[in-house]
A = this chain, B = another copy of it.
Amino acid sequence: MSYFGNVQTIRYEGKQSTNPTAYKFYNPDQVIFGKTMREHLRFSVAYWHSFTANGSDPFGVGTALRGWDAYTGMDLAKARVEACFELLDILDVDYFCFHDRDIAPEGNTLQETNQNLDTIVALIKANMKASSRKLLWNTANMFTHPRFVHGAATSSNADVFAYAGAQVKKALEQGKELGAENYVFWGGREGYESLLNTDLGFELDNLARFLHMAVDYAKEIGFDAQFLIEPKPKEPTKHQYDFDVATTLSFLHKYELIPYFKINAEANHATLAGHTFEHELRLARVNGVLGSIDANQGDMLLGWDTDEFPTDLYASTLAMYEILQNEGGIGRGGVNFDAKVRRSSFEPIDGVYAHIAGMDTFARGLQIAAKLIEERALDNVIEQRYSSFKSGIGAEIAAGRANFHTLEAYALQNKPIFNESGRLELIKSIVNQYIINT
């Protein structure tokens, strides 16, 4: 049985290969800074885009041609598991991710829903054991069902808050059962449509209460996955509470949740918030909360989350640059393709091509970033630019020994101030050489 046609496992053939089912840059065994590409990148396939969604958009029904669509109900759920592990084999990717509702359908009661989950989790576990594939993270879908129309943990309806608690409780148990390395909280409908009918302060308090309960319960059951929050600024709600990395940090600080969470940063969410992806990664990095990434890209001229497979070498280079500079690299996180083929790429093989495109783009980004770091192409620039803080008044400032009196005394000497050019145009042309010459 094959859902993807006669595709052999994708192998590395090098950058000149014209074989569409070969990696041109991703060589899993290539060692960079003492780790293999496979270890650096920890690629992951997203269950929802690859096995659950169907290519529909607000103006049209699904277009995706998928062998498993012949099934329904739990049979469909089981077929998707097969398809998932087949694709992981084809791509030779180690990790996958899912929402609870991706893998199993809701039943008529919460009990039945949970039984459906148990059945599929057992099937997934068996497949994991047989294949050595691993769960990068799981999460709970608390946005598709109409009950979540006003949010989940931030719903104006206490019954919905309760239901969400029960659902995340179960999801944490699933994660533990499958040895998930992370557990992700993406805001779903945690946000608002209008302040005219919203008690923002109360909703944020409730969100904090909910996350504290999750922390407590994971501890209780010994589920030691890294907890991750995934910021997004808008869509589906007009304002999502976890707008961006900084907003998430301010929330975590206020509610004393800082010790328990890191960030799962998504490229297209970053740009929707008005930031570059590398900005969000850098900000997470300097705050010690860079946990994992959702690798995709948006269309900078469109105002919604397009979740395209990443093909921009500039973006992948700068993302991998941040990850390589992060202490421990991507750590327990990974590079998850929260990306979907275009609606017009509806054949099963398109999903294979798309993952190859994304993996090659990140592999090449890794190579370029590593060379930039190895040759100190940017580090030398930075070191030189800030060198005035290595001695004299600069060193005093950096050491925290200066105050307005000492600064004024220094300034009143009226020594001429010389700035140096930031040299951005030269630096960008050098980055271009690295992209081509690496």
Comparing A34-42, A77-85, A124-132, A280-288, the segment that makes contact with chain B is A280-288
| Residues of chain A at interface, number, CB under 8 A | 158
Cα–Cα distance between A243 and B145 once the two chains are bound (Å): 34
Query: Which of A213, A301, A349, A389 gathers most chain B CB within 10 Å?
Result: A301
Given known contacts A149-B419, A159-B393, A165 and B408 CB-to-CB distance under 8 angstroms: yes
Cα–Cα distance between A247 and B251 once the two chains are bound (Å): 10
Query: In angstroms, how far is the closest chain B Cβ from the Cβ of A310?
Result: 10
* Chain B residues closer than 8 Å to A236, beta-carbon distance: 57-60
Given known contacts A109-B414, A145-B61, A404 and B250 CB-to-CB distance under 8 angstroms: no
Binding site secondary structure of chain A: helix
> Can you name the residue of chain B whose Cβ is closest to the Cβ of A233?
B274
Cα–Cα distance between A415 and B110 once the two chains are bound (Å): 10
Evaluate contact between A436 and B60: CB separation under 8 angstroms.
no
Cβ contact of A426, chosen from B20, B161, B423, cutoff 8 A:
B20
Cα–Cα distance between A198 and B321 once the two chains are bound (Å): 14
* Chain B residues closer than 8 Å to A287, beta-carbon distance: 254
Cα–Cα distance between A318 and B201 once the two chains are bound (Å): 16
Query: In angstroms, how far is the closest chain B Cβ from the Cβ of A131?
Result: 25
Within 8 Å of chain B (Cβ to Cβ): is A193? Answer: yes
* Chain B residues closer than 8 Å to A385, beta-carbon distance: 156, 197, 199
Evaluate contact between B165 and A404: CB separation under 8 angstroms.
yes
Query: Which of A163, A393, A425 gathers most chain B CB within 10 Å?
Result: A425
Cα–Cα distance between A423 and B193 once the two chains are bound (Å): 11
Evaluate contact between A417 and B157: CB separation under 8 angstroms.
yes
Cβ contact of A421, chosen from B144, B160, B165, B345, cutoff 8 A:
B345
Within 8 Å of chain B (Cβ to Cβ): is A183? Answer: no
Query: In angstroms, how far is the closest chain B Cβ from the Cβ of A294?
Result: 15
Evaluate contact between A404 and B58: CB separation under 8 angstroms.
no
Within 8 Å of chain B (Cβ to Cβ): is A437? Answer: yes
Evaluate contact between A417 and B147: CB separation under 8 angstroms.
yes
Cβ contact of A301, chosen from B196, B276, B341, cutoff 8 A:
B276
> Can you name the residue of chain B whose Cβ is closest to the Cβ of A390?
B158
Given known contacts A59-B143, A410-B162, A342 and B404 CB-to-CB distance under 8 angstroms: no
Interface residues of A in 165-189 (CB under 8 A from B): 165-170, 172, 188-189
Stoichiometry, copies per complex: 4
* Chain B residues closer than 8 Å to A195, beta-carbon distance: 276, 278-279, 282, 318
Cα–Cα distance between A210 and B380 once the two chains are bound (Å): 26
Query: In angstroms, how far is the closest chain B Cβ from the Cβ of A30?
Result: 16
> Can you name the residue of chain B whose Cβ is closest to the Cβ of A270?
B301
Evaluate contact between A197 and B378: CB separation under 8 angstroms.
yes
Evaluate contact between A193 and B429: CB separation under 8 angstroms.
no
Within 8 Å of chain B (Cβ to Cβ): is A397? Answer: yes
Query: In angstroms, how far is the closest chain B Cβ from the Cβ of A410?
Result: 5
Evaluate contact between A60 and B144: CB separation under 8 angstroms.
yes
* Chain B residues closer than 8 Å to A301, beta-carbon distance: 234, 238, 271, 274-276, 300
Given known contacts A159-B415, A353-B426, A360 and B147 CB-to-CB distance under 8 angstroms: no
Cα–Cα distance between A299 and B276 once the two chains are bound (Å): 10
Query: Which of A188, A342, A415 gathers most chain B CB within 10 Å?
Result: A342
Within 8 Å of chain B (Cβ to Cβ): is A407? Answer: yes
Query: In angstroms, how far is the closest chain B Cβ from the Cβ of A304?
Result: 5
Sample of 8 further A-B pairs with CB below 8 A, known A61-B145, A194-B422: A60-B236, A110-B412, A195-B282, A198-B382, A216-B403, A345-B422, A354-B426, A357-B429
Nearest 3 pairs of A and B residues by beta carbon: A303-B303, A158-B394, A165-B407
Give 18 CB contacts A-B under 8 Å. Answer: A58-B235, A60-B143, A60-B236, A111-B414, A157-B418, A166-B407, A166-B410, A201-B285, A213-B402, A217-B403, A235-B304, A243-B274, A247-B250, A254-B287, A272-B303, A273-B274, A276-B301, A349-B421
